[in-house]
Amino acid sequence: MKIKLIYSLVCFLFLGNMLAQQTPAPKQTQDYSIEGATAHLGNGEVIENSLIMFSKGKIEFVGSAKMKIARMGTVINARGKHVYPGFIAANTSLGLAEIDAVRATRDVDEVGTMLPHIRSIIAYNTESKVVETMRPNGVLMAQVAPRGGVISGTSSVVQLDAWNWEDASIKTDDGIHMNWPNAFSRGRWWMGEDPGLKPNKDYQKSIEEFKDFFANAKSYLASNKSTKNLPYESLQGVLNGSQKMFVHVSGKKGITDAVNTCKELGIKNIVIVRGQEAEKVADLLNANNIPVILERAHRLPNGEDTDYDRPYRAAKLLADAGILVGLGMEGEMERMSTRNLPFYAGTYAAYGLDKEKAVQLITGNNAKILGIDDKVGTLEVGKDATLFISEGDALDMRTNILNEAFIQGRKISLESHQTKLWKRYSDKYKNQ
């Protein structure tokens, strides 16, 4: 019996090692110098023939390789290649679900409508097989956000090579996510209604419920709090400005109403998420210093009279209007598709946005919007050495081929279950 038990444990441990994610890289102990690459700094600037040096997880030097300066530690010859800051995916549910068809692996939302106290970071799974597929494309950080309800809960920003959520966290509980009601609804054809768009008769009622919830929270926070109310207490950050309110809304009317309602409630730090038609209210957004996290470009236009390529030009329209724009991943297959983040930015570049501004969408801009630009997002002295080397243009899926990647100076693995399968079957067909 003991022998059977021992064999069972050995098999269990073996399978666990086979199925588990790679062991996270240890802290940086060896200095690195990356020499000769074209450096895309993440702020719109480019340095040809660059030199980037980092030590103990921090960038120590960024400049020209022509400078006569002693190189630090191991020198990586990156001539003909490109260096980028680690890409940041905003507004994802990465790590909150593994297999869409298996309910037990999905932890993206909770029962209820007003849930500001729900913390997505607690459910973040660092062992996710989906998470490890991000790194080979340069996606090294993500904002993990909840879904569902009217107020979904809080998001947190993580780096994607960690033992647990505490290790992963770059910024915990950075903001609360709220789903603004739709101003229009489609008729339910199965109930004999006209299938076209029509005004949502419950729109104003939903707004009033949102306002009432905040009014009650303010009264609670100003009281003696003899009875603890966790949802109300969780709103203190967005009311005093220490947390951001990420309002998921589209349409000119919806965005206008959302901004004015939040201002009325005293919510100071607002971010518009999705933001279709946001360029139509650019003056309102600029006047209130409100950024926009766009959706993926690969989608159909909303209106019947909308230009066919309007979704592809959205980033340029907003950037030209002077709005700070980032790129998020909400939508169908969002967790698996997050690895394609750089290619969605590339689509915006193909439709008029300057290439370096497209890089900014998923580096410097996303870092500013998420409040982590003091640590990451650009290649600057003093910031985390979270960066990667690509053989070519990282926004082009044909040339986004990573050679090296570092998170906080730690040289990370670029292997995933997908790369292992690719090598396995490549070998199979080579031998035929």
- At 136 the pLDDT is 95
Three-class secondary structure of residue 278 per DSSP: helix
- Whether residues 92 and 79 share a domain: the answer is no
Residue 197 included in any domain = yes
Query: For all residues of the chain together, what is the average pLDDT?
Result: 91
- Whether residues 322 and 297 share a domain: the answer is yes
Q: What is the dihedral of CA 161, 165, 166, 171, to 10 degrees?
A: 80
Residue 423 included in any domain = no
- At 4 the pLDDT is 53
Residue 9 included in any domain = no
Average pLDDT over residues 115-142: 95
- Whether residues 227 and 246 share a domain: the answer is yes
Average pLDDT over residues 294-322: 89
- Whether residues 272 and 195 share a domain: the answer is yes
Q: Does the pLDDT of residue 102 top 60, yes or no?
A: yes
What digits encode the pLDDT tens for the residues 319-358?
Answer: 999 999 999 998 888 899 999 999 999 999 999 999 999 9
Domain residues for 309? 87-375
Tokens representing 98 are 């593994």
Q: Which class for 429: exposed (0-12), middle (13-18), buried (19 or more C-beta within 10 A)? A: exposed
What digits encode the pLDDT tens for the residues 351-379?
Answer: 999 999 999 999 999 999 999 999 999 99
User: Which is it for strands 169-179 and 184-186: parallel, antiparallel or unpaired?
Assistant: unpaired
What digits encode the pLDDT tens for the residues 149-180?
Answer: 999 999 999 999 999 999 999 999 999 999 99
Residues paired with 97 in a beta bridge? 106
- Whether residues 142 and 225 share a domain: the answer is yes
Residue 421 included in any domain = no
Domain boundary among 375, 402, 423: 375
What digits encode the pLDDT tens for the residues 22-39?
Answer: 789 999 999 999 999 999
Domain boundary among 326, 346, 375: 375
Three-class secondary structure of residue 85 per DSSP: strand
- Whether residues 174 and 194 share a domain: the answer is yes
**pTM, whole model, 2 decimals?**
0.91
* Amino acid identity at 34: I
Q: Does the pLDDT of residue 13 top 60, yes or no?
A: no
Q: Does the pLDDT of residue 15 top 90, yes or no?
A: no
* CA separation for the pair 190, 192 (Å, rounded): 6
Residue 15 included in any domain = no
200: CATH: 3.20.20.140
Tokens representing 361 are 């969408």
Residue 103 banded pLDDT, cuts 50, 70, 90:
confident
Residue 3 banded pLDDT, cuts 50, 70, 90:
low
- At 12 the pLDDT is 41
> CB count, 10 Å around CB of 230?
10
Which residues, in sequence order, are CB contacts of 339 under 8 Å at separation 6+? Answer: 133, 134, 136, 137, 139
Residue 17 banded pLDDT, cuts 50, 70, 90:
very low
* Amino acid identity at 61: F
- At 303 the pLDDT is 75
- Whether residues 274 and 398 share a domain: the answer is no
Residue 424 included in any domain = no
- Whether residues 70 and 38 share a domain: the answer is yes
- Whether residues 128 and 245 share a domain: the answer is yes
| Percent above pLDDT 90 for the chain | 76
49: CATH: 2.30.40.10
* Amino acid identity at 79: R
- Whether residues 102 and 223 share a domain: the answer is yes
Into how many domains does the chain fold? 2
Residue 425 included in any domain = no
Q: Does the pLDDT of residue 195 top 80, yes or no?
A: no
Helix, strand, coil distribution of the chain in percent, nearest 5 = 35, 25, 40
- Whether residues 72 and 103 share a domain: the answer is no
* CA separation for the pair 317, 323 (Å, rounded): 9
* CA separation for the pair 165, 205 (Å, rounded): 38
Residue 260 included in any domain = yes
What digits encode the pLDDT tens for the residues 199-258?
Answer: 888 899 999 999 999 999 999 999 887 788 999 999 999 999 999 999 999 999 999 999
Q: Does the pLDDT of residue 66 top 60, yes or no?
A: yes
- Whether residues 289 and 383 share a domain: the answer is no
